[in-house]
Amino acid sequence: MSLGFSINPVSSRLKPDLQAKIDQKTKPLGALGQLENLALKIGLIQNSLEPQLNKPTILIFAGDHGIVKSGVSAYPQAVTAQMVANFLAGGAAISVFARQHKLELFVVDAGVNANLTAHPQLIDAKIAEGTKNFLYDSAMSVSQCLKAIQSGAEMVRQQQVNGCDCIGFGEMGIGNTSSAALLAHCLTGLSMDQCVGRGTGLDDSQLQNKRKVLLQALNFHKDITAPLDVLATFGGFEIAMMVGAYLKAAELRMLIMVDGFIASAALLVAYKLYPAVLDYCVFSHVSSEQGHKALLSYLNAKPLLNLELRLGEGSGIALAYPLIQSAVLFLNEMATFADAGVDEQTNT
Protein backbone atom coordinates (compact mmCIF):
# COMPACT_ATOMS: atom_id res chain seq x y z
CA MET A 1 0.00 0.00 0.00
CA SER A 2 1.36 3.41 -0.98
CA LEU A 3 1.00 6.25 1.50
CA GLY A 4 1.75 8.95 -1.06
CA PHE A 5 5.35 9.64 -0.12
CA SER A 6 8.00 10.08 -2.81
CA ILE A 7 11.40 8.98 -1.52
CA ASN A 8 14.31 8.84 -3.92
CA PRO A 9 17.54 7.02 -3.14
CA VAL A 10 20.43 9.32 -2.30
CA SER A 11 22.42 10.18 -5.43
CA SER A 12 26.06 9.10 -5.53
CA ARG A 13 26.96 11.77 -8.09
CA LEU A 14 29.11 13.76 -5.65
CA LYS A 15 30.80 10.72 -4.11
CA PRO A 16 34.11 11.03 -6.04
CA ASP A 17 34.41 14.75 -5.24
CA LEU A 18 33.49 14.26 -1.58
CA GLN A 19 35.95 11.40 -1.21
CA ALA A 20 38.68 13.45 -2.86
CA LYS A 21 37.96 16.33 -0.48
CA ILE A 22 38.17 13.98 2.52
CA ASP A 23 41.38 12.39 1.25
CA GLN A 24 43.06 15.79 0.78
CA LYS A 25 42.72 16.71 4.46
CA THR A 26 45.92 16.83 6.52
CA LYS A 27 45.84 13.23 7.73
CA PRO A 28 46.76 9.79 6.47
CA LEU A 29 44.14 8.23 4.21
CA GLY A 30 41.28 6.84 6.28
CA ALA A 31 42.79 8.04 9.56
CA LEU A 32 39.49 9.45 10.84
CA GLY A 33 37.84 6.07 10.36
CA GLN A 34 34.04 6.03 10.70
CA LEU A 35 34.00 9.83 10.90
CA GLU A 36 35.07 9.92 7.25
CA ASN A 37 32.23 7.58 6.26
CA LEU A 38 29.84 9.78 8.23
CA ALA A 39 31.03 12.96 6.50
CA LEU A 40 30.65 11.28 3.13
CA LYS A 41 27.12 10.13 3.95
CA ILE A 42 26.01 13.56 5.14
CA GLY A 43 27.49 15.23 2.07
CA LEU A 44 25.63 12.80 -0.18
CA ILE A 45 22.34 13.25 1.69
CA GLN A 46 22.59 17.02 1.29
CA ASN A 47 24.12 16.72 -2.18
CA SER A 48 26.77 19.21 -1.11
CA LEU A 49 30.53 19.45 -0.73
CA GLU A 50 29.88 21.79 2.21
CA PRO A 51 27.02 20.24 4.20
CA GLN A 52 25.49 22.14 7.12
CA LEU A 53 23.54 21.23 10.24
CA ASN A 54 20.73 23.73 10.61
CA LYS A 55 18.41 23.82 13.63
CA PRO A 56 19.00 20.19 14.70
CA THR A 57 15.82 18.99 16.35
CA ILE A 58 14.51 16.03 18.35
CA LEU A 59 10.81 15.20 18.46
CA ILE A 60 9.78 12.91 21.33
CA PHE A 61 6.58 11.04 20.50
CA ALA A 62 4.62 9.88 23.56
CA GLY A 63 1.77 7.41 23.77
CA ASP A 64 0.24 4.80 26.05
CA HIS A 65 -0.31 1.11 25.38
CA GLY A 66 -3.24 -1.07 26.35
CA ILE A 67 -1.00 -4.13 26.62
CA VAL A 68 0.34 -2.71 29.90
CA LYS A 69 -2.84 -4.03 31.54
CA SER A 70 -1.47 -7.53 30.93
CA GLY A 71 1.59 -7.02 33.11
CA VAL A 72 4.37 -6.52 30.54
CA SER A 73 5.99 -3.53 32.24
CA ALA A 74 7.68 -2.91 35.58
CA TYR A 75 6.15 0.59 35.68
CA PRO A 76 2.50 1.68 35.71
CA GLN A 77 0.99 3.42 32.70
CA ALA A 78 0.79 6.73 34.58
CA VAL A 79 4.56 7.08 34.21
CA THR A 80 4.15 8.04 30.54
CA ALA A 81 2.34 11.28 31.42
CA GLN A 82 4.65 11.88 34.38
CA MET A 83 7.72 11.62 32.16
CA VAL A 84 6.18 13.96 29.59
CA ALA A 85 5.86 16.50 32.39
CA ASN A 86 9.50 15.83 33.29
CA PHE A 87 10.59 16.45 29.69
CA LEU A 88 8.72 19.74 29.59
CA ALA A 89 10.13 20.80 32.96
CA GLY A 90 13.64 20.16 31.64
CA GLY A 91 14.48 17.44 34.14
CA ALA A 92 14.85 14.31 31.98
CA ALA A 93 18.09 12.95 30.56
CA ILE A 94 17.15 14.05 27.05
CA SER A 95 16.34 17.52 28.36
CA VAL A 96 19.82 17.81 29.85
CA PHE A 97 21.60 16.47 26.79
CA ALA A 98 19.54 18.59 24.38
CA ARG A 99 20.46 21.73 26.34
CA GLN A 100 24.10 20.66 26.40
CA HIS A 101 24.30 20.25 22.63
CA LYS A 102 21.85 23.04 21.70
CA LEU A 103 19.29 20.72 20.15
CA GLU A 104 15.71 21.91 19.70
CA LEU A 105 13.37 19.63 21.64
CA PHE A 106 9.61 19.13 21.30
CA VAL A 107 7.30 16.55 22.88
CA VAL A 108 4.37 15.18 20.90
CA ASP A 109 1.25 13.84 22.62
CA ALA A 110 0.48 11.06 20.17
CA GLY A 111 -1.81 9.16 22.52
CA VAL A 112 -1.07 9.69 26.20
CA ASN A 113 -3.78 8.46 28.56
CA ALA A 114 -4.03 11.79 30.38
CA ASN A 115 -4.97 15.40 29.80
CA LEU A 116 -1.67 17.23 29.43
CA THR A 117 -1.19 20.86 30.33
CA ALA A 118 -0.39 23.16 27.43
CA HIS A 119 3.29 24.06 27.05
CA PRO A 120 5.35 25.80 24.32
CA GLN A 121 7.31 22.59 23.70
CA LEU A 122 4.25 20.31 23.67
CA ILE A 123 2.54 19.42 20.39
CA ASP A 124 -1.00 18.11 20.88
CA ALA A 125 -1.66 15.42 18.27
CA LYS A 126 -3.53 12.91 20.42
CA ILE A 127 -5.19 10.15 18.42
CA ALA A 128 -6.80 8.52 21.46
CA GLU A 129 -6.01 8.02 25.13
CA GLY A 130 -3.77 5.03 24.55
CA THR A 131 -4.09 2.02 22.27
CA LYS A 132 -6.28 -1.01 22.92
CA ASN A 133 -4.82 -4.14 24.50
CA PHE A 134 -3.51 -6.13 21.54
CA LEU A 135 -3.81 -9.33 23.52
CA TYR A 136 -7.53 -9.18 22.68
CA ASP A 137 -7.89 -6.62 19.89
CA SER A 138 -5.88 -4.65 17.38
CA ALA A 139 -3.98 -1.85 19.08
CA MET A 140 -5.53 0.69 16.72
CA SER A 141 -7.76 0.84 13.69
CA VAL A 142 -6.28 1.21 10.22
CA SER A 143 -7.73 4.73 10.02
CA GLN A 144 -6.12 5.67 13.33
CA CYS A 145 -2.82 4.23 12.11
CA LEU A 146 -2.95 6.23 8.88
CA LYS A 147 -3.92 9.40 10.76
CA ALA A 148 -0.93 8.96 13.07
CA ILE A 149 1.43 8.43 10.14
CA GLN A 150 0.22 11.56 8.38
CA SER A 151 0.36 13.57 11.60
CA GLY A 152 4.00 12.60 12.17
CA ALA A 153 4.79 13.54 8.59
CA GLU A 154 3.16 16.95 8.96
CA MET A 155 5.20 17.73 12.08
CA VAL A 156 8.43 17.03 10.22
CA ARG A 157 7.29 19.17 7.31
CA GLN A 158 6.70 22.03 9.71
CA GLN A 159 10.16 21.64 11.24
CA GLN A 160 11.69 21.71 7.77
CA VAL A 161 9.73 24.88 6.92
CA ASN A 162 11.20 26.39 10.09
CA GLY A 163 14.73 25.73 8.83
CA CYS A 164 15.57 22.31 10.26
CA ASP A 165 17.58 19.94 8.05
CA CYS A 166 18.78 17.50 10.73
CA ILE A 167 16.15 15.67 12.80
CA GLY A 168 15.82 12.75 15.19
CA PHE A 169 12.94 11.00 16.92
CA GLY A 170 12.66 9.83 20.50
CA GLU A 171 9.76 8.13 22.24
CA MET A 172 8.08 7.68 25.58
CA GLY A 173 5.45 5.04 26.21
CA ILE A 174 5.25 2.52 29.02
CA GLY A 175 4.88 -0.88 27.34
CA ASN A 176 6.31 0.11 23.98
CA THR A 177 9.18 -2.40 24.03
CA SER A 178 6.44 -5.04 23.72
CA SER A 179 5.17 -3.37 20.56
CA ALA A 180 8.69 -2.99 19.20
CA ALA A 181 9.48 -6.65 19.86
CA LEU A 182 6.45 -7.82 17.91
CA LEU A 183 7.12 -5.42 15.04
CA ALA A 184 10.69 -6.72 14.83
CA HIS A 185 9.60 -10.36 14.99
CA CYS A 186 6.78 -10.08 12.45
CA LEU A 187 8.67 -7.98 9.91
CA THR A 188 12.12 -9.59 10.05
CA GLY A 189 11.61 -13.22 11.03
CA LEU A 190 13.86 -12.77 14.06
CA SER A 191 12.82 -15.16 16.82
CA MET A 192 10.79 -13.96 19.77
CA ASP A 193 13.68 -14.86 22.07
CA GLN A 194 15.86 -12.47 20.09
CA CYS A 195 13.29 -9.67 20.21
CA VAL A 196 11.76 -9.70 23.71
CA GLY A 197 13.80 -7.99 26.41
CA ARG A 198 13.53 -6.56 29.90
CA GLY A 199 12.28 -3.13 28.84
CA THR A 200 12.06 -0.88 31.89
CA GLY A 201 13.80 -3.47 34.07
CA LEU A 202 11.73 -6.62 34.40
CA ASP A 203 12.98 -9.35 36.69
CA ASP A 204 13.15 -12.95 35.47
CA SER A 205 9.58 -13.88 36.38
CA GLN A 206 8.20 -10.66 34.88
CA LEU A 207 10.19 -11.27 31.71
CA GLN A 208 8.77 -14.79 31.48
CA ASN A 209 5.26 -13.36 31.77
CA LYS A 210 6.01 -10.76 29.09
CA ARG A 211 7.14 -13.47 26.66
CA LYS A 212 4.04 -15.52 27.46
CA VAL A 213 1.70 -12.56 26.87
CA LEU A 214 3.35 -11.61 23.58
CA LEU A 215 3.23 -15.19 22.31
CA GLN A 216 -0.48 -15.31 23.19
CA ALA A 217 -1.00 -12.08 21.25
CA LEU A 218 0.78 -13.52 18.24
CA ASN A 219 -1.42 -16.60 18.41
CA PHE A 220 -4.54 -14.42 18.62
CA HIS A 221 -3.56 -12.33 15.56
CA LYS A 222 -2.45 -15.02 13.14
CA ASP A 223 -0.71 -14.56 9.79
CA ILE A 224 -0.38 -10.78 9.85
CA THR A 225 2.58 -9.83 7.65
CA ALA A 226 1.84 -6.58 5.76
CA PRO A 227 3.76 -3.70 7.42
CA LEU A 228 0.75 -1.45 8.00
CA ASP A 229 -1.32 -4.36 9.34
CA VAL A 230 1.45 -5.32 11.75
CA LEU A 231 1.77 -1.68 12.85
CA ALA A 232 -1.96 -1.26 13.43
CA THR A 233 -2.21 -4.59 15.27
CA PHE A 234 0.76 -4.33 17.60
CA GLY A 235 2.06 -0.77 17.41
CA GLY A 236 1.53 2.39 19.40
CA PHE A 237 0.37 5.82 18.31
CA GLU A 238 3.84 7.20 19.02
CA ILE A 239 5.42 4.47 16.89
CA ALA A 240 3.03 5.11 14.00
CA MET A 241 3.78 8.82 14.14
CA MET A 242 7.49 8.07 14.03
CA VAL A 243 6.90 6.00 10.89
CA GLY A 244 5.36 9.02 9.17
CA ALA A 245 8.07 11.27 10.53
CA TYR A 246 10.83 9.08 9.09
CA LEU A 247 9.14 8.93 5.69
CA LYS A 248 8.56 12.68 5.42
CA ALA A 249 12.09 13.47 6.59
CA ALA A 250 13.49 11.20 3.88
CA GLU A 251 11.17 12.68 1.28
CA LEU A 252 12.49 16.14 2.25
CA ARG A 253 16.10 14.88 2.05
CA MET A 254 16.77 15.64 5.71
CA LEU A 255 19.50 13.98 7.74
CA ILE A 256 17.73 11.51 10.06
CA MET A 257 19.24 10.54 13.41
CA VAL A 258 17.98 7.18 14.70
CA ASP A 259 17.76 6.34 18.41
CA GLY A 260 17.27 2.97 20.13
CA PHE A 261 15.11 -0.15 19.90
CA ILE A 262 11.65 1.38 19.66
CA ALA A 263 12.81 4.09 17.26
CA SER A 264 14.53 1.44 15.14
CA ALA A 265 11.37 -0.71 15.11
CA ALA A 266 9.42 2.28 13.80
CA LEU A 267 12.12 2.76 11.17
CA LEU A 268 11.77 -0.92 10.26
CA VAL A 269 8.13 -0.33 9.34
CA ALA A 270 9.08 2.74 7.30
CA TYR A 271 11.81 0.74 5.55
CA LYS A 272 9.38 -2.06 4.67
CA LEU A 273 7.13 0.55 3.05
CA TYR A 274 9.85 2.65 1.38
CA PRO A 275 13.30 0.98 1.45
CA ALA A 276 15.13 4.16 0.32
CA VAL A 277 14.42 5.75 3.73
CA LEU A 278 17.59 4.08 5.06
CA ASP A 279 19.74 6.21 2.75
CA TYR A 280 18.98 9.21 4.95
CA CYS A 281 19.62 7.58 8.33
CA VAL A 282 22.52 7.81 10.75
CA PHE A 283 22.24 5.29 13.61
CA SER A 284 23.29 6.89 16.87
CA HIS A 285 23.88 3.83 19.05
CA VAL A 286 23.16 0.20 19.81
CA SER A 287 21.19 -0.19 23.03
CA SER A 288 21.35 -2.97 25.59
CA GLU A 289 17.66 -3.76 25.06
CA GLN A 290 17.26 -7.27 23.74
CA GLY A 291 16.62 -7.24 20.03
CA HIS A 292 18.24 -3.96 19.07
CA LYS A 293 21.56 -5.42 17.97
CA ALA A 294 19.82 -8.06 15.85
CA LEU A 295 17.50 -5.45 14.35
CA LEU A 296 20.43 -3.18 13.46
CA SER A 297 22.14 -6.13 11.82
CA TYR A 298 19.00 -6.82 9.80
CA LEU A 299 19.01 -3.18 8.64
CA ASN A 300 22.73 -3.41 7.85
CA ALA A 301 23.28 -0.45 10.17
CA LYS A 302 26.53 0.58 11.80
CA PRO A 303 25.80 2.59 14.96
CA LEU A 304 28.13 5.33 16.15
CA LEU A 305 28.08 4.45 19.86
CA ASN A 306 27.72 1.50 22.20
CA LEU A 307 27.17 2.88 25.69
CA GLU A 308 24.79 0.15 26.90
CA LEU A 309 21.91 2.63 26.97
CA ARG A 310 18.30 1.49 27.29
CA LEU A 311 16.52 4.73 28.09
CA GLY A 312 14.87 5.82 24.86
CA GLU A 313 13.72 9.47 24.77
CA GLY A 314 16.18 10.22 21.94
CA SER A 315 19.01 10.17 24.48
CA GLY A 316 21.33 8.23 22.17
CA ILE A 317 20.78 10.79 19.42
CA ALA A 318 21.75 13.68 21.68
CA LEU A 319 24.89 11.87 22.83
CA ALA A 320 25.94 11.01 19.28
CA TYR A 321 25.20 14.42 17.83
CA PRO A 322 28.67 15.86 18.58
CA LEU A 323 30.16 13.15 16.35
CA ILE A 324 27.85 14.23 13.55
CA GLN A 325 28.96 17.81 14.14
CA SER A 326 32.59 16.76 14.06
CA ALA A 327 32.14 14.96 10.75
CA VAL A 328 30.68 18.08 9.14
CA LEU A 329 33.25 20.41 10.71
CA PHE A 330 36.30 18.44 9.64
CA LEU A 331 34.93 18.24 6.11
CA ASN A 332 34.35 21.99 5.96
CA GLU A 333 37.14 23.43 8.10
CA MET A 334 40.09 21.06 8.26
CA ALA A 335 43.02 22.20 6.13
CA THR A 336 44.13 20.34 3.04
CA PHE A 337 47.76 19.39 2.44
CA ALA A 338 48.00 22.24 -0.06
CA ASP A 339 46.42 24.77 2.32
CA ALA A 340 48.76 23.87 5.17
CA GLY A 341 51.91 23.37 3.12
CA VAL A 342 52.23 19.81 4.40
CA ASP A 343 53.82 17.15 2.21
CA GLU A 344 51.52 14.37 1.10
CA GLN A 345 52.25 10.66 1.36
CA THR A 346 54.56 9.44 -1.34
CA ASN A 347 54.34 6.11 -3.10
CA THR A 348 57.70 4.37 -3.17
What is the set of active-site residues? 313
Q: How far apart are the C-alpha atoms of 145 and 235, rounded to whole Å?
A: 9
C-alpha to C-alpha distances, 124 to 41, 55, 175, 304, nearest whole angstrom: 34, 21, 21, 32
Spell out the alpha helix ranges (H) of 258-314. 261-273, 292-298
- Measured in whole angstroms, the distance separating CA 329 from the mean position of its chain's CA atoms is 24
Residues, the chain: 348
Nearest CA among 185, 202, 199 for reference residue 294: 185
Report yes or no: 174 and 65 within 8 Å, Cβ to Cβ: yes
Count of beta carbons in the 10 Å neighbourhood of residue 32:
19
Report yes or no: 167 and 254 within 8 Å, Cβ to Cβ: yes
**Those residues with Cβ within 8 angstroms of residue 60's Cβ, 6 or more apart along the chain or in another chain:** 87, 94, 105, 106, 107, 108, 169, 170, 171, 172, 313, 314
Q: Across the strands, what pairs with 58?
A: 105, 168
CA atoms within 13 A on the CB side of 316: 30
The secondary element (H helix, E strand) that includes residue 117 is none
Specify the 3-state DSSP secondary structure of 285: strand
**Those residues with Cβ within 8 angstroms of residue 245's Cβ, 6 or more apart along the chain or in another chain:** 59, 61, 152, 153, 155, 156, 167, 169
Report CA Rg, the chain.
21
